[in-house]
Amino acid sequence: MPTDVIFRSATEKDVPAIVALLADDVIGAGREGESDRYLAAFRDIDADPRNHLVVADLAGEVAGTLQLTYIPGLSRMGAERAQIEAVRVASAHRSRGLGREMITWAVDQAKQRGCGLVQLTSDKRRSDAIRFYESLGFELTHEGLKLQL
């Protein structure tokens, strides 16, 4: 278990490292490339108080990333829900408990904020990831449906 990891908000300087993590993935690789859109998207996230792009910083290196989105809603007695997207751990740091530390941290953030629910979707091909989330208490109650535009 990495003990010296720091969870901090991403800055503009982290964007290339985060995009590299998104691309260093069997499923995500074909979806990324060179684009000015990344910086614009970072600024959209950074300006939004309900979106939090996070890096797991290990001695100054971006070892992992995830994004938290806090979604207000009427259902479940008006409870806010926290959504986790874009979870990635750098290949050099996998299988050492960093992912577990990241998701546990994210769930704690949601608890501290008073959210009623944490949700995420995971590609059905990521069977290891799905087992990992189940081991953290997530339940496979829903289908995750996507429509590409």
- Residues forming the site for a second copy (CB under 8 A): 15, 18-19, 22, 28, 31-33, 35, 37-42, 44-45, 48, 50-51, 53, 67, 69, 71-80, 83, 85-86, 107, 110-111, 115-124, 130, 133-134, 136-149
Which CB, 1 or 74, lies closer to a second copy?
Answer: 74
The tokens describing 39, both together, are: 């910086």
DSSP summary character for residue 59 = T
Beta-carbon contacts of 120 under 8 Å, excluding residues fewer than 6 positions away, are 83, 84, 85, 87, 133, 138
In a 13 Å sphere around the CA of 70, the CA atoms on its Cβ side amount to: 18
Closer residue to a second copy in complex, CB, 96/125: 125
Min CB(107)–a second copy separation in Å:
7
- Minimum Å gap between C-beta 31 and a second copy is 5
Q: How far is the CB of 57 from a second copy (least distance, A)?
A: 17
Query: What secondary structure letter does DSSP report for 89?
Result: E
Q: How many CB atoms lie within 10 A of CB 146?
A: 6
Residue 40 CB, shortest distance to a second copy, in Å, is 6
Residue labelled with tokens 């829903």 = 142
| Dihedral sign of CA atoms 110, 66, 10, 1 in order | positive
In terms of CB distance, is 57 or 123 closer to a second copy?
Answer: 123
Q: Which residue's CB is nearer to a second copy, number 3 or number 130? A: 130
